[in-house]
């Protein structure tokens, strides 16, 4: 006779598709929070008195704490159970969204965004662990990961559109406050839809988590401010040196402690090191593509925030259709490596096309085809890259592996965007000093960023081809 616990688990597992919808909603929100604030930045700057230089931290505070604490989130998920950590993360995210929405100063806004990042760092690895635990049939898992990947990619793109709509017709504060009703609904349904998950004994490596987060904060800040301070300046070199020192400290702690945040032996798992590098490079190419495409639409083609969001809809819809309807089937037929390489090549091609967009271009003539190619490339890359990064992990380390791949993606996002912004700013500044027009110089800076992102995607392709194994 099955026990009460077994019966409960079976009932919950029968609800796996409904539970997946809940988890995809969480993933959508987590990724959307990185992009939804873009259109609202000018309004926030005026309302809270940000300087132009400090405005970047509305974005960076979230991404840095999200990426820097994902390993901690994965570890906590393994120790206390994925459902409990998922719930805690959503509670923190909801409260932090209220703080950001009601922000009265730079400090309160930055604190709210950092706390949003912390909540998301708990949600993301726990959610992916729950997905992997609920779907044991490989065909179902492929389809489930298709929905999962589509919700992430759609969250990033839809954030721009929703940010434009909300900012134009409501208020910039609702960019954050919109999370609250959704968060409350998710918290209400968690106990009835999600499996409790397994727990195990262990300690939490707080010092390790702080050191790797500080390393990321200093590295991103160094890159973002290098164009103004100078790459060879004492400030930039000091920040990069400090970031390196904190990262070395993190590695030494992981080697010496009995229960590390990131056991270094996990890097012996097949494909894990190479796949995480590829995922970081994928993010470092994709996020600048999305960022500078939005700027090109608004600042060069003079689209309104709302029309810019509409222009991104074909790409968003294509990603969702491809990931849900085709990527899982293609992975099942051709394997994750072939799809990953094909996706990275197509993404590289799309970036090369974007690097040619003219000042007097048009959406249909210069943006639509390249954006749809980008959607195809992302759709073929994201899920296979995730599968490759987790394919060799032991069952008891899936939380750690999922935290690691999410960390790689977010770190790649932060560093890649910071580097491409610095590259674009440097190109634009040099052309303005040489007497070029404002729009022409701006567009040339965007070209430089697209070329840099294409180079990153090309490097990712080579690494995937050489170092990732099919089985």
Nearest to 127 by CA among 88, 169, 170: 88
The count of other CB atoms within 10 Å of the CB of residue 469 is 12
> What is the count of structural domains for the chain?
3
From 171, 198, 225, give the residue that closes a domain.
198
The CA distances from residue 385 to 296, 382, 429, in Å, are 29, 5, 36
User: What is the CB-side half-sphere exposure of residue 179 using CA atoms within 13 A?
Assistant: 37
Domain span holding position 98: 1-198
3-state helix, strand, coil in the chain (%, to 5): 85, 0, 15
Q: Is the pLDDT of residue 2 over 90?
A: no
Q: Residue 447: pLDDT band by 50, 70, 90 thresholds?
A: very high
pLDDT computed for residue 40 by the predictor: 76
**Is the predicted pLDDT of residue 221 greater than 80, yes or no?**
no
Q: In this structure, how many other beta carbons lie within 10 angstroms of the beta carbon of residue 248?
A: 12
Give the side-chain half-sphere CA count within 13 A for 337.
14
Q: What is the pLDDT of residue 202?
A: 62
Domain-terminating residue out of 198, 222, 246: 198
Question: Above 60 in pLDDT, residue 386?
Answer: yes
As a whole number, mean pLDDT of residues 294-307 equals 81
The verdict on 212 and 76 lying in the same domain is no
Average pLDDT of the residues in 279-283: 93
Lowest-confidence pick of 70-74, 398-402, 423-427, 465-469: 398-402
3-19 pLDDT, tens digit per residue, is 444 444 444 466 778 88
Residue 249 has pLDDT above 70, yes or no: yes
Q: Report the helix count and the strand count for the chain, using DSSP H and E.
A: 19, 0
**Band of the pLDDT at 430, cuts 50, 70, 90?**
confident
Distance CA 452, CA 460 (A): 13
Give yes or no: residues 239 and 354 share one domain.
Answer: no
Is the pLDDT score of 225 beyond 90?
no
Residue 254 and residue 379: Cα distance in Å, rounded?
Answer: 34
Q: In the predicted model, is pLDDT for residue 1 greater than 50?
A: no
Confidence category of residue 157, pLDDT binned at 50, 70, 90:
low
- The DSSP element (H or E) to which 304 belongs, if any, is none
Tell me the C-alpha distance between 26 and 148, whole Å: 10
156 pLDDT band, cuts 50/70/90, is low
Q: Among residues 299, 312, 302, which one has the least CA distance to residue 424? A: 299
Together in a domain, 162 and 42:
yes
- With a pLDDT cut of 70, the percent of the chain lying above it is 89
Q: Are residues 181 and 249 located together in one domain of the fold?
A: no
pLDDT at residue number 377: 94
What mean pLDDT is predicted for residues 353-365? 90
pLDDT tens track for 51-76:
645 666 787 788 778 877 877 887 78
Those residues with Cβ within 8 angstroms of residue 97's Cβ, 6 or more apart along the chain or in another chain: 112, 116, 176, 177, 178, 179, 180, 183
Assess contact for 380 and 327: CB atoms under 8 A. yes
- Could you tell me what percent of the chain has a pLDDT over 90? 21
- Please indicate, yes or no, whether residues 372 and 462 belong to a single structural domain of this protein: yes
293 and 325 share one domain: yes
* H helix or E strand, kind and range, residue 466: helix 438-467
Residue 396: its H or E element? none
**302, 235: one domain:** no
Strands (E) located in 246-342: none
> Among residues 158, 173, 198, which one ends one of the domains?
198
Mean pLDDT of the region 23-37 = 78
What's the predicted TM-score (pTM) here?
Answer: 0.78
pLDDT-derived band at 344 (thresholds 50, 70, 90) equals very high
Contact, 30 vs 154, CB < 8 A? Answer: no
- Alpha-carbon separation of residue 29 from 80, 158, 235 (angstroms): 23, 10, 35
CB count in 10 Å sphere of residue 434: 8
Q: Which has the closest alpha carbon to 384: 327, 444, 438, 466?
A: 327
Place of tokens 């992102």: 453
DSSP secondary structure of 28-55:
HHHHHHHHTTTTTHHHHHHHHT--TTGG
Tokens of 202: 């262990």
Residue range 275-286: mean pLDDT, rounded = 92
pLDDT at 431 over 90: no
- Quick one: residue 197, left, alpha or beta (phi over 0 = left, psi -120 to 50 = alpha)? left
Higher pLDDT among residues 466 and 391, named by residue: 466
Cα–Cα distance between 194 and 191 in angstroms, integer? Answer: 6
How far is Cα 36 from Cα 172, in angstroms, rounded to an integer? 10
Residues 190, 86: contact at Cβ < 8 Å?
yes
- Quick check: 33 pLDDT over 80? no
HSE, CB side, 13 Å, CA atoms: give it for residue 240: 15
- State pLDDT tens for residues 116-139: 989 988 887 788 778 877 777 777
Top mean pLDDT of 69-83, 220-234, 251-265, 378-392 is at: 378-392
Q: Are residues 282 and 431 in the same domain?
A: yes
CATH code for the domain in which residue 400 is found:
1.20.1250.20
pLDDT at 11: 41
Query: Are both 376 and 400 inside the same structural domain?
Result: yes
pLDDT in the model for residue 51: 66
> Cβ distance 308 to 164 under 8 Å?
yes
**What DSSP string runs through 91-126?**
HHHHHHHHHHHT--SHHHHHHHHHHHHHHHHHHHHH
Query: What pLDDT is stored for residue 471 in this prediction?
Result: 63
Same domain, 291 and 155: no
Q: Are residues 180 and 255 in the same domain?
A: no
Pair 67, 22 in one domain: yes
Q: Which two tokens stand for residue 431?
A: 């052309």
């Amino acid at each position: 006779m099955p026990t009460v616990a077994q019966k409960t688990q079976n009932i919950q597992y029968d609800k796996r598709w409904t539970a997946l919808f809940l988890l995809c909603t969480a993933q959508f929100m987590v990724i959307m929070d990185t992009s939804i604030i873009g259109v609202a930045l000018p309004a926030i700057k005026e309302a809270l008195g940000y300087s132009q230089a400090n405005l970047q931290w509305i974005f960076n505070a979230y991404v840095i704490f999200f990426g820097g604490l994902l390993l901690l989130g994965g570890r906590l998920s393994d120790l206390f159970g994925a459902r409990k950590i998922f719930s805690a993360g959503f509670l923190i995210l909801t409260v932090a969204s209220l703080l950001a929405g009601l922000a009265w100063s730079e400090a309160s806004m930055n604190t709210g965004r950092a706390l949003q990042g912390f909540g998301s760092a708990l949600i993301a690895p726990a959610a992916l662990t729950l997905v992997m635990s609920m779907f044991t049939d490989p065909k179902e898992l492929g389809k489930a990961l298709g929905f999962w990947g589509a919700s992430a990619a759609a969250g990033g793109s839809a954030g721009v559109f929703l940010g434009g709509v909300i900012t134009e017709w409501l208020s910039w504060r609702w960019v954050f406050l919109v999370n609250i009703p959704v968060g409350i609904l998710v918290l209400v349904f968690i106990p009835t839809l999600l499996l409790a998950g397994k727990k195990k004994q262990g300690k939490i490596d707080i010092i390790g988590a702080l050191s790797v987060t500080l390393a990321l904060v200093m590295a991103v800040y160094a890159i973002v401010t290098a164009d103004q301070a100078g790459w060879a300046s004492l400030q930039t070199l000091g920040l990069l040196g400090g970031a390196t020192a904190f990262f070395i400290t993190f590695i030494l702690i992981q080697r010496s402690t009995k229960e590390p945040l990131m056991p270094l032996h996990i890097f012996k798992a097949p494909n894990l090191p190479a796949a995480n590098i590829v995922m970081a490079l994928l993010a470092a190419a994709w996020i600048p593509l999305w960022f500078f495409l939005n700027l090109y639409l608004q600042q060069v083609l003079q689209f309104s925030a709302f029309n810019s969001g509409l222009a991104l809809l074909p790409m968003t819809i294509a990603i969702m259709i491809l990931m849900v309807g085709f990527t899982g089937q293609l992975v099942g037929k051709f394997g994750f490596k072939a799809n990953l390489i094909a996706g990275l090549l197509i993404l590289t091609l799309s970036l090369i096309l974007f690097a040619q967009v003219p000042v007097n271009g048009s959406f249909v003539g210069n943006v639509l085809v390249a954006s749809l190619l980008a959607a195809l490339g992302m759709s073929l890359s994201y899920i296979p890259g995730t599968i490759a990064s987790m394919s060799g992990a032991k069952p008891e380390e899936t939380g750690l592996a999922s935290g690691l791949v999410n960390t790689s993606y977010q770190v790649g996002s932060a560093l890649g965007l910071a580097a491409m912004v610095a590259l674009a700013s440097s190109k634009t500044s040099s052309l303005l000093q040489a007497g070029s027009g404002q729009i022409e110089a701006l567009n040339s800076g965007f070209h430089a960023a697209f070329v840099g992102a294409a180079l990153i995607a090309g490097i990712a392709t080579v690494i995937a081809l050489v170092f990732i194994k099919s089985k």
